[in-house]
Amino acid sequence: IKADFTVQPDKGCSPLQVTIQNMAVGGSSIISYEWDFGDGGTSNSSAPFLTHTYTNTTGLVQIRQLRLVVTNQQGCTDTLIRQITVYPEVSAQFTQDVVQGCNPLTVHFTRPANNAVVTWNWNFGQGSTSSTPDPVTVFQNAGGNDTTFTVQLIVTSSDFCRDTFSSVVTVYPFIDAQFTIDRDEGCVTYPVTISNQSSVMPGISSFEWNFGDGSPLSNSNSALLNHTYSNPGAVTQIYNLRLVVRNHAGCTDTLIRPVRVFPRVISAFTPSVPAGCTPLTVSFSNTSNIPVASSFQWDFGNGATSGAVNPLHVFENSSSVDTTYRVRLIASSADQCTDTSWADIMVYSFVKAAFTVDTNASCSPFAVAISNSSAGGISQYQWNFGDGSPVSGVPAPAHTYVNQTLASQVHLLKLRVQNPHGCADSLKRTITVYPEVRAAFEADVTEGCDPLTVALTNQSNAPVAQVYYWEFGNGASSELTNPQYTYIHYNASDQIYTIRLHAVSQYGCSDDTTLDITVYSYIDADFKMNDQDVCSGFPLRIENTSLGGINQVFWDFDGNGSVDSNDTSPFFDHPYANPNDNPIVYNALLRVNNVHGCTDSVVRPVTVYPKVTAAFTYDSAGCSPLEVQFVNTSLRGSSPLGNNGFYTWDFGDQTTSSLEHPAKIFYNYNDFDIIRTVKLIATSEYFCQDSIEKTVYVYHKPRAIFTVDRTIDCPPFNIAIQNNSYTTNASFFWDFGDGQRDTTFVQSGLSHIYYNVADTIQNYNLHLRVHTNRNCVDSSNLTVSVYPQVFAEFTYDSSGCSPFVAGFTNQSVHATDFHWDFGDGSVSSLINPVKRFVNPASVDTTFDVWMKASSVYNCRDSVRHQVTVFAQPEAEFLATPPHQIYDPEPVISIANLSNHQTVWDYQWDFGDGTSSVTPAPSFQKTYTAWGPNSDENRFYITLIATNALHPQCADTIIHPIRILPHVPVPEILTQDAAGCEPLEVTFAMQCLYAYPDSFIWDFGDGSVGTGQQPVHTYQHAGIYQVSLKAVGDGGVAYAFALVNVYPLPVADFDVSPRLVMLPDDKITVIDKSKYAVAWWWDFGDGTTSVEQQPQHQYVQPGSYDIRLIVLTEHNCPDTLLRERYVTVEESGILEFPNAFTPNLNGPSGGDYSNLPWADINDVFHPKHRNVAEFRMEIYTRWGEKIFETKDINVGWDGYYKGKLCKQDVYVWKASGKFINGRNFLLSGDVTLLHKK
């Protein structure tokens, strides 16, 4: 009989069920079977197959002895025992603190109890994983419905035992309270438009709006809502507008935005008087609700404004009827809230006494023509002539003044006017009568050479004639009584001038007389030279620049008094020479005359400098660096130039010097000789120059350069030397420092061997000397070090039986470290090791025992001897870890545990299509993929160990490993993107273990995209949650990010007024922008402001652009440019003269815009600027209107109906307005004088 059975499997994880096949031999002779399962269980079954389940709840591996005892009829027995290995049982049944909740939901997981050491592989069903025992993870649901995530835990022990358990987590829908308002502050009543951005979110089931002002709550889910805020108080009210959203599970989200409502402004005022005569001064009492109303804009109804609280204003009425002005007050708060109130002011009709006379000063008898230009609502006139004659009440009276005395008489002419309200005005003018005047004079000379001085004697009838106006016929004049005048002209012919005397009395009477003066032709002696300083031997170019009626020319070049030439050529050359050592000055003279004998001359100095000769001495050749001392021997004339000169040295190598005797170092960095050309330019203190060039030979200096392949090594040290010297035509002398020398004549490599049998390091000085054919020398040194030499040797026991213990005796010299390789994979670093060789086979095996000896300097030597034993392979290895998750290219560490590991040949099959024959005792294997999904991601590693001398001696072992696929790991790299609308965002991501075409983006605004780097533009402000979905072999995963898009401001403003006049007018800028928190104004004149509503005063006329840049709290900008929005004009001017002299040749029409300046007094007109409307009337002294114009560029030419008006005083009246709207009403008189 024979007890025999097989068991499958014979090892496994608890609970382990095994199948036993009963293969006992003996048949019917066996009378009993005794099964002992080794875990307390037994059986007497004789069945051919049995099953049994082993359990192991400990933390250790249990080995059970499965024993079968069979007995025959004779009592004979046989026993067979086989071992069953039972690995500890593992459990994956975890617990969690919550199973459902609001998004985002944080869940704490608790691991199950396990006695064995295990690894944890959590998959949370949303693309994230963990390997910690008790993980905490956050579940997010970006959708509008409940989302259920399946959480799976796989627990694996080091024995490949594993268990799996799953549970679910439900996350309620994502909700987000989001809304914007069109503006967050304003004045009462204040309507607000709310944009509900949460209205499109499917997960929201209810809305609750609280407007914060006590009004009823709202549950509207509309996309747009409207609400009006009020503020009855005197301070700003802040209301918190709150939205609360909920989903079906009661999850909430809240957003609060503050709304600022400013208090109401009330505008009111009372005037001091309601009516009066012009100009009417009115003070206004402001009764607005101050301090809520903090700034005020008054419009007085006549174009004038004010920003004062209680202004005082003067009203003027320039019309002939009563005028009512409507005064408006705009009251504003600091928050730009406004209110307006009005009141009427009546100003009675304007009255203005105005008249002119045709002239107010003339000779007796003097008939004064009065022109009455009074204006307004006049009801009464009263004239008083001041000479005792009766008072007149007509509008335009006529009157004649008589003065028969020798002295002037002055009469006061007065006019008084009034309107029906008793408002009155008056005007006074004086009238003067003058005696007759007679002009006469004589001259001391009437002809002569230019310049000609003429003395004049006045013979007019003084003392009546008291003022004299002389005109000398050439534009010059004088007001002296007896002037003296010098005539100067530049003509080549005689000139005749007419002298005119205009005599005027103190009363304005005048007379004229004339006389002719002849001045002979002008002559001017002059010449030019191309230089007044000339070096000896150089010609001087002379140019005759004389002018006028020249008859003869005389040249004296050296100033010795003699005439050297009568040359009349315009150009000629004259040479000057200086034989001396110092400069010589010559006075060159030119004299000319005309046909009348008038003469002129000119003298110009010419300086002639001594001649300069450049020269120097020096050393001309030598080795680089070559120092050369230059000795300067330059001359000025016949004497050394010395330090009186200036020197420029050019050494031919791009260097220069200005020293008199420079020292120069010449360098030659080449490997050949070079030549330098030295140039000297010598310049005297008079800037006369000369130059000279000479040659310097610079021999090259050799550079001794060599390199070696190494400077220290173990002997025999064969050093390779490379000669890199920089030279030509040279010899090379080598000294190796160990007593040996060598000489070479070409640049080439060479070698030398160093030895050292001593116990210490030996140092040798390697020296190179280079010598050129010009005797230029250089040398170089290098230290070479040689370590002591190592000799390896040992004695040993050479053979023996397995297990064979061999002893090794070390006999090495100069060695400190040893490495023994016994030929079977085992090594040692002992000095005298002992080795146990094992070989259970029957075939001799020879092991090569190597001993490698090394010194402290890493010098080495080795020796080999042989040991013979017997061998049989037993294949075994350990692969760790037995299972893992792919992350990335996982590494398996493999230890070859076969006996006599270094002896056998090996064949590895790693189960992924790769193999190896490495004999290494341990190595690492990198996998590039996870295991096949069809076999639970397993790879099977197979090792075959073979004895090379006996191929039939082989052994095979197979172990499985598992490499599981990794879930995708997506990451959105673009986090917390923020910016102003529209915001373009380029999303970047990275992801491992996903299919390349599996990425799906949800941008949070209803748009989706694909790809790895999508670009999306958010058109509207809001906070958007972005999600990225990735799919791979390991499952599905998500990543999230937020994008915040800020709203843009709206820049808007106005300006009041847009037309201003210098120097006092200001503009006020009114900000109308939305959502702005910062302002930057550019007024176009180089000034800026950061106030919200600044005032600005320009100082220069022109048209100005105004630019406004506004920013929100997130620095989102908007810009508004209003081009040429403000016009600034010069201050208005309107000034009239009191007299003019019409042109006696006839009427001109009065257009003076193109009159020459000399004739500008021919037309009576004002000096004006910035006049927009204009009307001028001219009246005689009798009040007759003789001229009227509405064109500012057309004045009165002194004519009436084509005839010249008489010399008299006339009255003018002007009215209109300036360009800034300000009215003017002026009047006066002008005297018309006739030219003599």
Asked whether residue 568 carries a pLDDT value surpassing 90, the answer given is no
CA-to-CA dists, residue 830 to 199, 851, 852, angstroms: 83, 10, 11
Q: Are residues 565 and 596 in the same domain?
A: yes
Residue with the larger pLDDT of the pair 1179 and 433: 1179
Distance from C-alpha of 1101 to C-alpha of 1062, rounded to nearest angstrom: 7
Provide the Cα torsion 486, 489, 495, 501; round to 10°.
-40
- Count of H helices and E strands in the chain? 0, 119
- Give the mean model confidence (pLDDT) for residues 1218-1233: 88
Q: Does residue 543 fall inside a structural domain?
A: yes
Query: Identity (one letter) of the amino acid at 1218?
Result: F
The domain tally of the chain equals 13
Last residue in a domain, options 298, 332, 347: 347
CA-to-CA dists, residue 462 to 44, 255, 458, 635, 809, angstroms: 178, 104, 9, 81, 157
CA-to-CA dists, residue 274 to 230, 326, 342, 524, 753, angstroms: 37, 11, 13, 82, 128
Asked whether residue 404 carries a pLDDT value surpassing 70, the answer given is no
* pLDDT (tens digit per residue) in 314-343: 999 888 899 999 999 999 998 889 999 999
Asked whether residue 870 carries a pLDDT value surpassing 80, the answer given is no
CATH number at residue 888: 2.60.40.10
Asked whether residue 589 carries a pLDDT value surpassing 90, the answer given is yes
pLDDT value, residue 911: 93
Asked whether residue 461 carries a pLDDT value surpassing 90, the answer given is no
- Quote the tokens at residue 653: 């190598």
Asked whether residue 364 carries a pLDDT value surpassing 80, the answer given is no
Residue with tokens 């608790």: 110
Query: What band does 406 get if pLDDT is binned at 50, 70 and 90?
Result: low
- Give the mean model confidence (pLDDT) for residues 753-763: 90
pLDDT value, residue 35: 93
Residue with the larger pLDDT of the pair 187 and 364: 187
Residue with the larger pLDDT of the pair 969 and 747: 969
Average pLDDT over the chain, rounded to an integer: 90
Query: What band does 745 get if pLDDT is binned at 50, 70 and 90?
Result: confident
Radius of gyration (C-alpha) of the chain in whole angstroms: 62
Q: Are 179 and 195 in contact, with CB atoms under 8 Å apart?
A: yes
CA-to-CA dists, residue 694 to 652, 656, 1176, 1228, angstroms: 10, 15, 93, 94
CATH number at residue 1166: 2.60.40
Q: Are residues 957 and 887 in the same domain?
A: yes
pLDDT value, residue 907: 95
Q: Give residue 1146's domain range.
A: 1133-1232
Asked whether residue 872 carries a pLDDT value surpassing 80, the answer given is no
Q: Does residue 404 fall inside a structural domain?
A: no
Q: Are residues 1228 and 1162 in the same domain?
A: yes
| Residue 1161 DSSP SS3 | helix
DSSP code string of 127-178: S-EE-SSS-EEEE---SSS-EEEEEEEEEEETTS-EEEEEEEEEEPPP----
Asked whether residue 800 carries a pLDDT value surpassing 80, the answer given is no
* pLDDT (tens digit per residue) in 180-189: 998 888 888 7
Q: Are 490 and 477 in contact, with CB atoms under 8 Å apart?
A: no
Q: Are residues 778 and 719 in the same domain?
A: yes
* pLDDT (tens digit per residue) in 1145-1204: 999 999 998 888 888 999 999 999 989 899 999 999 888 999 999 999 999 999 999 999
- Give the mean model confidence (pLDDT) for residues 844-870: 89
Q: Does residue 988 fall inside a structural domain?
A: yes
Residue with the larger pLDDT of the pair 963 and 800: 963
- Quote the tokens at residue 1212: 């003018």
Residue with tokens 């109130």: 341
Distance from C-alpha of 338 to C-alpha of 1072, rounded to nearest angstrom: 13
Last residue in a domain, options 212, 241, 262: 262
Residue 930 CB burial class (10 angstroms; 0-12, 13-18, ≥19): buried
Q: Are residues 865 and 922 in the same domain?
A: no
pLDDT value, residue 407: 73
Q: Are residues 306 and 250 in the same domain?
A: no
Query: What band does 842 get if pLDDT is binned at 50, 70 and 90?
Result: low
* pLDDT (tens digit per residue) in 510-531: 889 999 999 999 999 999 998 8
Q: Among 89-98, 503-512, 1060-1069, where is mean pLDDT lowest? A: 503-512
Residue with tokens 């590991």: 901
127-133: long-range contacts, CB 8 A cutoff, minimum separation 24? 127/967, 127/968, 127/969, 127/970, 127/1029, 127/1030, 127/1035, 127/1036, 127/1037, 127/1038, 127/1039, 128/967, 128/1037, 129/885, 129/966, 129/967, 131/885
Q: Are residues 659 and 738 in the same domain?
A: no
pLDDT value, residue 243: 93
* pLDDT (tens digit per residue) in 92-146: 999 999 999 999 999 999 999 888 888 999 999 988 899 999 999 999 988 889 9
Residue with the larger pLDDT of the pair 994 and 1220: 994
User: Three-class SS string for 318-329?
Assistant: CCCCCEEEEEEE
Query: What band does 1104 get if pLDDT is binned at 50, 70 and 90?
Result: very high
pLDDT value, residue 801: 67
CA 147 to the chain's CA centroid:
49
Q: Does residue 846 fall inside a structural domain?
A: yes
**537 CB-side CA count, 13 A:** 9
Q: Does residue 420 fall inside a structural domain?
A: no
Q: Are residues 758 and 727 in the same domain?
A: yes
Query: What band does 680 get if pLDDT is binned at 50, 70 and 90?
Result: very high
Q: DSSP class of residue 813?
A: B
Task: Report strand pairing: 777-786 vs 712-713.
Answer: parallel
* pLDDT (tens digit per residue) in 945-986: 988 887 877 888 999 998 888 888 899 998 889 999 999 999
* Report for 679-683, 803-807, 1129-1133: range of highest mean pLDDT: 679-683
Asked whether residue 507 carries a pLDDT value surpassing 80, the answer given is no
Provide the Cα torsion 243, 247, 253, 254; round to 10°.
10
Residues 6+ apart with CB under 8 A from 49: 19, 20, 21, 22
CB 1082: neighbour CB atoms within 10 A?
A: 16
Q: Are 875 and 957 in contact, with CB atoms under 8 Å apart?
A: yes
Q: Does residue 493 fall inside a structural domain?
A: yes
Distance from C-alpha of 21 to C-alpha of 47, rounded to nearest angstrom: 9
Last residue in a domain, options 479, 498, 519: 519
Q: Are residues 1148 and 1228 in the same domain?
A: yes
Q: DSSP class of residue 61?
A: -
Distance from C-alpha of 632 to C-alpha of 661, rounded to nearest angstrom: 6
* pLDDT (tens digit per residue) in 880-891: 988 888 877 899
CB 433: neighbour CB atoms within 10 A?
A: 22
pLDDT value, residue 1214: 95
Q: Are 144 and 202 in contact, with CB atoms under 8 Å apart?
A: yes
pLDDT value, residue 986: 94
Q: What angle do CA 416, 422, 426 make, to 5 degrees?
A: 20
Q: What angle do CA 1217, 1223, 1228 make, to 5 degrees?
A: 90
* pLDDT (tens digit per residue) in 69-83: 999 988 899 999 999
> What b/e readout covers 644-657, taking b as 16+ CB neighbours within 10 angstroms?
ebebebbbbbeeeb
Q: Are residues 655 and 686 in the same domain?
A: yes
Largest Cα–Cα distance of the chain, in whole Å?
197
> Kind and range of the H or E element at 1199?
strand 1199-1200
Q: Does residue 1166 fall inside a structural domain?
A: yes
Q: Are residues 312 and 284 in the same domain?
A: yes
- Give the mean model confidence (pLDDT) for residues 1099-1112: 94
Q: Does residue 668 fall inside a structural domain?
A: yes
Q: Are residues 65 and 83 in the same domain?
A: yes
